[in-house]
Each structure stands twice: as C-alpha cells, then as structure tokens.
C-alpha cells in the first residue's frame, strides 16, 4: 500500500499552481462566453463528446475558466470514465476556486477519483493476489460506494438550494412590481443579487401568483359596484340630484369593469400561438414578456413538456407553443 500511496501523492503534486479565489461576478462573466454557452448547449442536449471537446476548447483559450474546468471534470468522470483526467481537473478547480459553491462537491468527486485510481494502479502492478491488498481494495470499494451516495445527496441538496434561491428571486421581483404599480415603491431597479444558476430552475411546487394590476382594477370596480347596489335601496329616499349621482357612479363602475375585462381579453388575443426562442431568452423572460408575470413559465413548460428538458432550459431557435 505504500507504493500505491506514493503514486497517489505524485498525482496530487501534478496539479498546477493555485490562483486567487473568484468572485461571483467573475464566475458569471466566464459562463457568459459564446464558447462556454455552446458547450453547455451540447451538454444539455446529451451530445456529451461534443460537450467535452467544447469545454476543452474553452480551457485552451482561457485556462483560468473554472466553470468550464468543473464541467469537463464531471464529463470525464461520468461519461468517459477517465479518472486521471477528472482527478487533475478537480484538483486544478479546487486550487483556482477553493471557496466556490461547488468546492465541496468537487472534493467529494476528487476522493472518488482517488479511490478508483488506486484500484486501477493495484491491478496494473499485479497486486490483486495479495490478501492484504485485496482487503484494502474491498474496503476502498465500500468507501467509494458510500462516497457516491454522499455525492448524490449533496447534488440533490445543491439542486434544492438553487430552486429555493430562484423562487425567492422571482417572488421578490413580483412583489416589487406590484408595490411599484400601487405607488408604494419607486419604479427603480433594486440591487441585483448573484444567485447560483445551474440548473438551471426546476420547480415542482406551485408558486403563489401575485395579482396583476388589471385584476386589482377589476376588484376595485366590483367593490364600487357592490357598494352602489347596497345603496340602491336607500336611493329612493334621496333627493333627485343625489339619486342621479348614485346612478352615474354605478354606471361608471360598470363601465370600468367592462373596460378592464376588454383589456384582459385584448392582451390575451395579442399573445401569439408560437414563439421562436432568441439568444439570451429564458422561460422567465418569455413568461414576463407575454403574460406580464414570471410565474407563467410553468404554464409554458407544461405546454411544451415534450421539447423542454426537465431543467427548464430553452435553446436559441427553439419554437415554443404559447398557451392562451
């Protein structure tokens, strides 16, 4: 086992020199490059070999792109079963971004690669026949299985955290717009908060939907109409001028309700049957553009569930059906 430990130590020393920790804005900037986005599109579409080549191309152009390095390491480990390549890229990622949101997952995956490499080296050195080595390998296999289970648990927790962050962001945006429309808050843009996006926004729970301005106008009109109806019994005892005013108010309320309904119908008719996804579009942006609220993204995803992946991402040039 000393020989195996030395070999693993040599692999650890093969990592490149560490770089300074990255900020959230820097992560966002490196993921915004055209080459990175193209590689992610291949990854999402299941074109794994094309995705590997794409991330390798990104790293050749910019070796400091930690996001591309992490994605490449995952593909090497899960798709190609290249534990040595994945090991080196995980090590480099942890040196470049030791405090990132994916650092803990990278450490877990790195440990799995180390165990797998130890077993591969033992086989190549014909050490399998040694009973002590065999026991060590069996123990390592069990530890590897436990680590994989722990890794899956961490992945699920990360996914839940990203979903929760996405929910909070969309809910805050809806509340801000509602308050602005009611005159309770200036219409300026609030300070943006960097939120981890990876997935990509998979929300299985129903979100509460804030009432639209049109709905609030209609509610006010209906309340006024109800008050006018309640006062109709006493209208006969009013003076002729007062009765005329009450009747005029009732008619105005009815006209306002009809106008609000007509506006909603007009907006509904203005929604096209289909929409071709443009560069930079997301389901949230498309929902806000055509329905006036980001929560409508679920309705779009449900109408296009055969063409939209489970992580809710859309591709440039993809044609989406817009439900009425």
- 266-285 pLDDT tens trace: 676 678 989 999 999 998 99
Q: What mean pLDDT comes out for the span 146-156?
A: 86
- 194-206 pLDDT tens trace: 443 433 443 433 4
Q: What mean pLDDT comes out for the span 276-303?
A: 90
pLDDT tier at 26 (50, 70, 90 boundaries)? confident
The CATH topology of domain 274-321 is Membrane-bound Lytic Murein Transglycosylase D; Chain A (3.10.350)
How far is the C-alpha of 220 from the C-alpha of 225, rounded, in Å?
9
The residue whose two tokens read 């002729």 is 240
Which helix (H) or strand (E) element contains residue 228? helix 213-230
Q: Annotate 188-252 with DSSP letters as a single string.
A: SPPPP------S-----SPPP-PPPHHHHHHHHHHHHHHHHHHTHHHHTTS-HHHHHHHHHHHHH
* pLDDT for 197: 40
How far is the C-alpha of 99 from the C-alpha of 205, rounded, in Å?
31
Mark residue 321 as left, alpha or beta (left: phi above 0; alpha: psi -120 to 50; beta: remaining).
beta
Furthest-apart CA atoms within the chain: distance in Å: 110
What is the reported pTM? 0.36
Q: Are 97 and 20 in contact (CB under 8 A)?
A: no
CATH class entry, domain 2-162: mainly alpha
Q: What mean pLDDT comes out for the span 164-171?
A: 89
DSSP 3-state of 320:
strand
Q: Annotate 62-125 with DSSP letters as a single string.
A: -TT-HHHHHHHHHHHHHTS--HHHHHHHHHHHHHH-TTSTTHHHHHHHHHHHHHHHHHHHHHHT
How far is the C-alpha of 61 from the C-alpha of 36, rounded, in Å?
11
Q: Where are the domains of the chain?
A: 2-162, 213-268, 274-321
């Amino acid at each position: 086992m000393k020989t195996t430990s030395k070999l693993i130590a040599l692999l650890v020393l093969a990592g490149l020199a560490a770089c300074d920790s990255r900020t959230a804005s820097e992560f966002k900037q490196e993921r915004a490059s055209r080459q990175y986005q193209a590689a992610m599109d291949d990854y999402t579409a299941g074109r794994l070999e094309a995705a590997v080549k794409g991330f390798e191309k990104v790293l050749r152009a910019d070796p400091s792109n930690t996001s591309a390095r992490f994605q490449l390491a995952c593909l090497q480990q899960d798709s190609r079963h290249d534990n040595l390549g994945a090991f080196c890229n995980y090590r480099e990622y942890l040196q470049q971004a030791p405090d990132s949101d994916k650092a803990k997952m990278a450490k877990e995956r790195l440990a799995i690669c180390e165990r797998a490499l130890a077993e591969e080296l033992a086989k190549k050195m014909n050490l399998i026949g040694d009973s002590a080595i065999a026991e060590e390998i069996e123990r390592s296999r069990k530890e590897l299985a436990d680590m994989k289970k722990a890794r899956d648990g961490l992945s699920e927790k990360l996914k839940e955290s990203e979903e929760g962050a996405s929910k909070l962001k969309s809910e805050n945006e809806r509340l801000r717009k509602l308050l602005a429309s009611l005159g309770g808050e200036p219409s300026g843009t609030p300070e943006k908060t960097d939120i981890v996006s990876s997935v990509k926004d998979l929300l299985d729970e129903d979100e509460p939907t804030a009432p639209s301005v049109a709905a609030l106008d209609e509610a006010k009109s209906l309340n006024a109409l109800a008050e006018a109806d309640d006062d109709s019994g006493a209208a006969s005892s009013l003076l002729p001028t007062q009765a005329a005013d009450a009747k005029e108010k009732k008619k105005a309320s009815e006209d306002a309700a009809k106008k609000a309904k007509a506006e909603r119908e007009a907006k509904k008719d203005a929604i096209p049957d289909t929409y071709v996804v443009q560069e930079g579009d997301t389901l949230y942006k498309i929902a806000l553009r055509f329905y006036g609220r980001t929560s409508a993204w679920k309705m779009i995803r449900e109408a296009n569930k055969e063409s939209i992946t489970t992580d809710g991402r859309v591709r440039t040039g993809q044609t989406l059906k817009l439900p009425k």
